[in-house]
Chains A and B, each alone.
Chain A
Amino acid sequence: MKIFGIPIFPDQASTFAKDVDALYFFIIAVSAFFAIAVAIAVIYFGIRYRKTHDGEIGARIEGNLPLELLWSVIPTIIAMVMFGWGASVYFHLRRPPAEAMHIYAVGKQWMWKFQHLEGQREINELHIPAGRPVKITISSEDVLHSLFFPAFRTKMDAIPGRYTELWFDAQTPGSYHIFCAEYCGTNHAGMIGTVTVMEPAQYQAWLQGGGMEGTLAQRGAKQFNDLACSTCHLDSGQGRGPSLHDIVGKPVELQDGSTVVVDEAYLRESILNSQAKVVKGFQPLMPTFQGLISEENLVALIEHVKSLSPNATTAPATTPAPAAPPAEKK
């Protein structure tokens, strides 16, 4: 939206956009009300009670307890309304629906790399279908970055050593900015890209256009063999490592007796720091792959492991997605 040719309001291209904007306008209205009320009072008093002669002094008013309690309580109530509304929008923003399409993003000085499950890989470009929830799992190869889609009103930091995620449901086909919002060094301002929201049919056509290397999971399967994971993780479960079939989304018992649910964060940790949480009944024999595998290949490998559990619809990352409330649990 523009006034006199000056843009003052960003595109609303996702389902969040109008929720976030409604909140924005509400707080603007409240702020404007208080700012204008105080401004009018201050200016009016300044004129009305202007000192007119030397030696004039003001009325002696020490305070007024009911009044002060009133103007402590009213802002508190208004603040609580803002908090509640903001928190509900945030809950929605942070909880991807189970059927969301999944994409991986890796931040690197100074580019965004995106990987589609179907195999397409893009740099500083992202193609997505309109009207379908998209979940992006984010990591970083070096320093902090932050994946920011202003038109979708969402962003999330890319943190080396862990997965974060964001999701959105882009509604309006078009091209929008992708920014890096966390300062990441010399070319921080150059770490920008374009997200193209396409009609679903167009998107399907686009998907067919590339992807000569096979799907992400297929690339992961190749990694699985290249890194000799397959020599220990036998399907039969008789290998030196546990079978990886049908494990994702399920709890697994560890050596120390505790259990973890197998998700992306656990898989990531087990590959990079294999001694951390060893499955009960196995020896801590697996080498660590820290520094030996790139973030991109890591997600391919994880995607391969996930493909071995066809019944698990989704495996949310432990950090930082919240547990779904019981009503929505599947």
Chain B
Amino acid sequence: MLDKLKIPERHYLNNGHGLASWLLTKDHKRIAIMYLISISVMFFLGGLFAVGIRLELATPQGDFVQADTYNKFFTMHGIIMVFFFLIPSIPAVLGNFLIPPMIGAKDLAFPRINLLSLYLLWFGAIFATVAMVSGGVDTGWTFYTPYSTTGSNSHVVPMALGIFIAGFSSILTGLNFIVTIHRMRAPGMTWFRLPLFVWAHYATSLIQVLGTPVVAITIVMVGVERALGFGIFDPARGGDPVLFQHLFWFYSHPAVYIMILPALGVMSELISTFSRKTIFGYSFVAFSSLAIAVFGFIVWAHHMFVAGISTYAAMVFSFLSFSVAIPSAVKVFNWTATLYKGAISFETPMLYAYGFMGLFAIGGLTGLFLATLGLDIHLHDTYFVVSHFHYIMVGGAIMGYMGGLHFWWPKMTGRMYSEFFSRISAILVFVGFNLTFFPQFVVGYLGMPRRYHSYPDEFQVLNVMSSAGASVLGLGYFLPVITCCGR
């Protein structure tokens, strides 16, 4: 059996060994591998800042670093993780590698543009790194005006430029996927035969193409306002600081679905593979991806319930916010039903899938608290929110990424990971994650605001629990690196 599966003599991994053979490649698989290495570096960097944050918060006094340094820590953590890790993670690595073979194409529709989008991510990262090493940015990854335009004396403009450039990477990847999925399917590969992974990426690409230009323009406006003194957001010059929030969240809420939708696609593949069954309700799962992408665009103002928007606008956006819950719930129910009468085995990817279902359920359900108007007033900008979006973006997106990476690792590299250590790491990630972030729901309801460098003493026990959990989580993330390199 194994003989038949032998890798051909020349394949994408040994097709030329020089640096140029990689940097000038147009092969989607090689580009995916380069993305994998790039974002792994980013994940490590973002993780280092997270370590700094959790160390600082282990004591209430704020005695590990200065307030300014701490503010730069969480800003860099957010920017790196969101723009340079989570958004490219699954689409750029797994999507790039797998979409062509899954639809029966030789490569993406625009191989050169694919390489360009990798370079754009690198250029963006260079600007971000310049901003970081020349002193950092302390605005928070959200760049709220007027602090980012007039208040902060940190390196906002180069950082904004970095994000602006990285945004084009995202747009081009999305564009490439859309064209590929529309035009390059093999004969007989109809829309309703597409793997759900491809459906999820199709929905994601729509958001990337429609949403990212908005944040790109917004960040340019911040840059010119800061550098040239325009009055777009500055009330003293007739601008409106709340306008920034509308523009920013118009992209950045859907951006959450850029991170989570591909993970949902991975899950659909993993769960049906490891229970050896077809997915329950294929078309419901496929359309729920599109529904999440579409509804994602009409809920942005639920980030602004206390930002002075009118009561009636708040009610409309609260109402709409619940619309995202329905397709998300449908997916979870369908996965559960897929397990029914399956032949289930618990290899590493399935452990990640199980962990994902737990974390995604908690993350999704706590979203209901924040969509509910009366309750969000209290919870807004507390640690409850921090915990909620980590459950979705880290618990969901990274569990999906790790699960998918393990599942397709042999296909991508021709090597197997250590099943034993990988299972341990999957379990460590799940346990560590809950230890880290569950206490934050509690401390959030108690009223601890986010982005606090020091805090009242009564919040300490829960913060220590969180910091302790983070070390378990960090070990869980790091273990696969050792087991992969060790073999």
Contact of B151 among A39, A62, A143, A322 (CB under 8 A): A143
- Are A162's CB and B341's CB within 8 A? no
Chain A, Cβ-Cβ closest to B240? A161
Stretch at the interface among B13-21, B34-42, B45-53, B280-288: B280-288
**Which of B357, B374, B456, B462 makes the CB contact (< 8 A) with A90?**
B374
Q: Is the CB of A57 within 8 A of B368?
A: no
Query: Quick one: closest B residue to A176, CB to CB?
Result: B447
B372 touches A82 (CB 8 A): yes
**B68 / chain A contacts, CB cutoff of 8 Å:** 186
Asked if A75 lies at the interface with its beta carbon under 8 angstroms from chain B, I say yes
Among B281, B309, B343, the one with the most A-chain Cβ atoms within 10 Å of its Cβ is B343
CA–CA, A182 to B442, complex, Å? 19
Which of A177, A180, A188 counts the most B-chain CB atoms under 10 A from its CB? Answer: A188
Q: What residues of chain B lie closer than 8 Å to A6, measured between beta carbons? A: 461-462
| Interface residue ranges of B368-406 to A (CB < 8 Å) | 368-369, 371-378, 380-382
Given known pairs A71-B329, A83-B372, the reply for A61 and B344 (CB within 8 Å) is: no
A33's nearest neighbour on chain B, judged by CB, is: B365
> A183 and B451 in contact (CB under 8 A), knowing A68-B281, A162-B235, A177-B456?
yes
Q: Choose from B144, B334, B366, B458 the contact partner of A7 (Cβ within 8 Å).
A: B458
A109 with B151, Cβ < 8 A, contacts A59-B277, A60-B277, A160-B241 known: yes
Could you count the A-B residue pairs with CB atoms below 8 Å apart for me: how many are there?
291
Is residue B22 within 8 Å, beta carbon to beta carbon, of the partner chain? no
Given known contacts A5-B461, A150-B446, A192-B456, A94 and B381 CB-to-CB distance under 8 angstroms: no
Q: Is A282 an interface residue (CB 8 A)?
A: no
Shortest Cβ gap from B84 to chain A (Å): 21
Q: With A and B bound together, what is the CA distance between A5 and B461 in angstroms?
A: 9
A150 to B446, CA, bound (A): 7
A142 touches B453 (CB 8 A): no
1/0 per position for B410-445, CB-CB distance to A under 8 A? 000000000000000000000000000000001001
Contact of B333 among A51, A71, A88, A156 (CB under 8 A): A71
Q: Is the CB of B378 within 8 A of A20?
A: yes
Nearest CB of chain B from residue A70's CB, rounded to whole Å:
9
Q: Which residues of chain A (3-57) have a CB below 8 Å from chain B?
A: 5-10, 19-20, 23-24, 27, 30-31, 34-35, 38-39, 41-42, 45-46, 49-52, 56-57
CA distance A142 to B315 in the complex (A): 29
Which residues of B in the span 71-130 have a Cβ within 8 Å of any Cβ on A? 71
**B62: which A residues are within 8 A, CB to CB?**
189
The answer to whether A185 touches B138 (Cβ under 8 A) is: yes
Complex alpha-carbon distance, A102 and B140, angstroms: 34
A40 CB to nearest chain B CB (Å): 10
Interface assignment of B342: CB less than 8 Å from any CB of chain A: yes
Residues of chain B contacted by A143 (CB below 8 angstroms): 144, 146-147, 150-151
- Cβ of B346: which chain A residues have Cβ within 8 Å of it? 46, 50
Instruction: Bits for A86-99, please: 1 = Cβ < 8 Å to B, else 0.
Output: 11111111100000
Q: Give the residues in chain A near B242, CB-CB below 8 Å.
A: 159
A59 to B342, CA, bound (A): 6
Contact residues in B for A59 (Cβ distance below 8 Å): 277, 340-342
Closest to B369 in A: A27
Contact A63 to B354, CB < 8 A, known contacts A51-B344, A86-B318: no
A155-B378 in contact given A49-B341, A86-B373 (Cβ < 8 Å): yes
Q: Is B134 an interface residue (CB 8 A)?
A: no
* A93 to B373 Cα, complex, angstroms: 10
Interface of A is mostly: mixed
Please tell me if the beta carbons of B447 and A177 are within 8 angstroms of each other in the complex: yes
**Is A258 at the interface (CB under 8 A from chain B)?**
no
Cβ–Cβ < 8 Å partners of B241 in chain A? 144, 159-161
Which residue of chain A has its CB nearest to the CB of B311?
A: A322
Contact A161 B447 (CB under 8 A): no
Assess whether A42 is in contact with B458, with CB atoms less than 8 Å apart. Answer: no
Shortest C-beta distance, A221 to chain B (Å), equals 27
Contact yes or no, A38 B281, CB < 8 A: no
Interface residues as binary, A148-180 with B (CB distance below 8 Å gives 1, 0 otherwise): 101101111101111010000000000001011
User: Is the beta-carbon distance between A75 and B329 smaller than 8 angstroms?
Assistant: yes
CB contacts (< 8 Å) of A72 on chain B: these are 284, 326, 329-330
Q: B278–A62 contact, CB under 8 A? A: yes
Closest to A148 in B: B449
Chain A residues near B339: list those with CB within 8 A. Answer: 41-42, 45-46, 49
Q: Report whether A56 and B343 are in contact in the complex, using a CB–CB cutoff of 8 Å.
A: yes
State whether B340 touches A90 (Cβ < 8 A). Answer: no
What's the interface size class on A, roughly?
35 or more
**Which B residues from 286 to 320 make CB contacts under 8 A with A?**
305-312, 314-315, 318-319
Query: B275 on the interface (CB 8 Å rule)?
Result: yes
Does A260 sit within 8 A of B, measured CB to CB?
no
Residues from chain B with Cβ under 8 Å of A79 in the complex: 322, 325-326, 368
Bound together, the chains give a CA A320 to CA B311 distance in angstroms of 7
A313 at the interface (CB under 8 A from B): no
Q: Which of B146, B340, B365, B447 has the most CB of A within 10 A?
A: B447
Q: Is B236 an interface residue (CB 8 A)?
A: yes
Identify the closest chain A residue to B275 (Cβ).
Answer: A58
Contacts of B314 in A (CB 8 A): 90
Given the complex, which residues of B lie within 8 Å of A202, measured CB to CB? none
User: Cβ of B483 < 8 Å from any Cβ of A?
Assistant: no
The closest CB in chain B to the CB of A109 belongs to: B151
Residues of B close to A186: CB separation below 8 A: 67-68, 71, 138
Question: Which chain A residues border B238 with CB–CB below 8 Å?
Answer: 273
- A301 interface hit (Cβ, 8 Å): no
- Assuming the contacts A150-B447, A155-B380, asked whether A68 and B334 have C-beta atoms less than 8 A apart, the reply is yes
Residue of B nearest to A24 (CB): B375
Closest to B149 in A: A143
- Residues of chain A contacted by B33 (CB below 8 angstroms): none
| CB of A291 closer than 8 Å to a CB of B | yes
B325 touches A45 (CB 8 A): no
Do B332 and A156 touch (CB < 8 A)? Answer: no
Interface residue? A208 (CB, 8 A): no
Q: Is there contact, CB below 8 Å, between A157 and B306?
A: yes
| B195 touches A (CB below 8 Å) | no
Q: Which residues of A contact B (CB under 8 A)?
A: 5-10, 19-20, 23-24, 27, 30-31, 34-35, 38-39, 41-42, 45-46, 49-52, 56-64, 67-68, 71-72, 75-76, 79-80, 82-83, 85-94, 109, 142-144, 146, 148, 150-151, 153-157, 159-162, 164, 177, 179-190, 192, 273, 290-291, 319-322
> Could you list 20 further interchain pairs (A-B, Cβ under 8 angstroms) beyond the known A87-B315, A143-B146?
A6-B462, A7-B461, A23-B372, A46-B346, A49-B341, A50-B343, A58-B277, A59-B277, A59-B340, A82-B322, A82-B372, A86-B372, A89-B374, A90-B305, A148-B381, A155-B381, A156-B306, A179-B449, A183-B140, A192-B456
Subset of 19 A-B contacts with CB under 8 Å:
A10-B447, A20-B375, A23-B375, A45-B336, A45-B339, A46-B344, A49-B343, A51-B344, A61-B277, A68-B281, A72-B329, A72-B330, A79-B368, A87-B319, A90-B311, A93-B377, A143-B147, A180-B449, A183-B381
Cβ-closest 10 pairs across A and B: A161-B235, A150-B447, A89-B374, A58-B277, A86-B372, A90-B373, A58-B342, A63-B281, A59-B341, A31-B365
